[in-house]
Structure formats: structure tokens, C-alpha cells
Copies of this chain bind each other. A is one copy, B any other.
Amino acid sequence: MSELHWQSALYQLRSQIISGELLGGTKLRASHLAEEMGLSRTPIGEALIKLEGEGLLIRDKSGFTVRSFALEEVFDAIDLRGLLEGAAVQKAAQKGVCESDLGKLREMLLQFDSIIDQANVSEYDPLNLEFHLFLTSLSESEILIAEVQRSYRLPFAGPSSFPTQQSDSERFKASLMLGQQHHGQVVSAIANREGSRAFALMCEHARLAHQNVYAAIEARERSPQLALVKNAG
């Protein structure tokens, strides 16, 4: 566990930003944060630099500011994730995937089925993340894998970062089932070596997340996560 201090500061700050606990536009003062977290400014500074690299902070001539995202930018981030995941599965499909990996994919599909059947929401997100990461890894491209994971850190872009507990649970379940439909089609596209089909499917799959963002806004659930979205009222 011997977690480095800057890492814990990084996780803490990142989750505070993405969750909307730290509002867009907030100026982050290293000395203040240091005192607050019981550390010195050095590891805090390291975390801030990394968050700047992730695009969550902006560094003006003096200090870091929490970035706020226009709604359009949230969609751009989601599309970016789809584009990168799409490129990954396209590459996987083109180069072909061994039978044991295909088996693992199909097994995960079955797990999805049973989770959705039982409306077992709490188990969905971790499995979904694992599935997306595994799909990406099949590209066997370090660079693509890294970029995909990077895109997950943009607000709302991660495959499991949409506000759960949607008010309209009927609609929610329908969205899950459509997603599951996509999952199955992508696996078949990979198995059939249909690269461009796999690409298109992943792009479209990511766009499901647009719906979730809209749903959250329309329902005015005012999920605190939406606090970092400009003009989202």
C-alpha cells in the first residue's frame, strides 16, 4: 500500500474536480491545499502538474485553476473516447484476436446479461470498465492503450462515469440493453475481422453517453458532477 503522497493528492484532487466538489474556475493554491491535506507543497505541486497534463487544470502565470467545460466540450471528450476506442478495436480486428481472448470477451458478455437481467446496477460499472479496457488492450498498441486511458480521465468521458441512479429507470435499462447490444456486435466484428465495422460501432457506442448527459440535465437531477459544466442549467 505504501502509496506515494503525491499519488494520494492526485487521486483526491482529481475526484474532487470530476465530482464537481471543486467548481470550475476555482483557484487552487498549493500552500492552502498542502495545509489542508497535511503535506508540504512539493507533492501537491506534483499532483497539480499531472492534473494540468490531464487537461483538468489550467495554469495561468500564477497558479492553477480548475477548468470548466462547456457542454459541447463534454460531448467532444466523449467522442474522443469513442474515436480512440474505435481505433483500438479496429486494430484488434484487423490483426485478429486469439480464440482464448474471444472466449473471455464472450464470457464477459454473459456476465453483462445476468447483471442487466437482475438490474444489478452496482456490478455494472466495474465490469463495463474492465470490458472496455480489455477491448482496448487487444489492439496491442501501447500508445493507443495509453491514450484511451487518458481520455477516460476527462470529465464524463470514462465508460462508467455517467450519473447512475437515473430517475427514469425504464429508460435507464433500455440504455443499458442498447449498450449491451453494441458490446455483442463489437465482439462479433472483431471475431469476423471486420475492422471498420468495429470502429464505427465503438464510436456509436460512446455516443450513448451523450444521452446520459442529456438525461441528467433534463431531469435537473443537478448531479453535482454537472457543476463543472458551464451553462448547464
Contact = CB atoms under 8 A, between A and B. Distances in A.
Interface stretch (A115-123, A128-136, A139-147, A185-193): A139-147
* Number of copies of chain A assembled together: 2
Contacts of A46: 45, 49
Interface stretch (A73-81, A160-168, A170-178): A73-81
Contacts of A147: 80, 147
A205 to B, nearest CB: 16
A154 interface: yes
A210 to B, nearest CB: 15
B76 A143 contact: yes
Contacts of A87: 79-80, 83
How many residues of A sit at the interface, in one of the four size bands? 20 to 34
A141 B83 CA distance: 14
A179 interface: no
A147 B147 CA distance: 9
Interface of A: 45-46, 49-50, 53-55, 72-73, 76-77, 79-80, 83-84, 87, 141-144, 146-147, 154
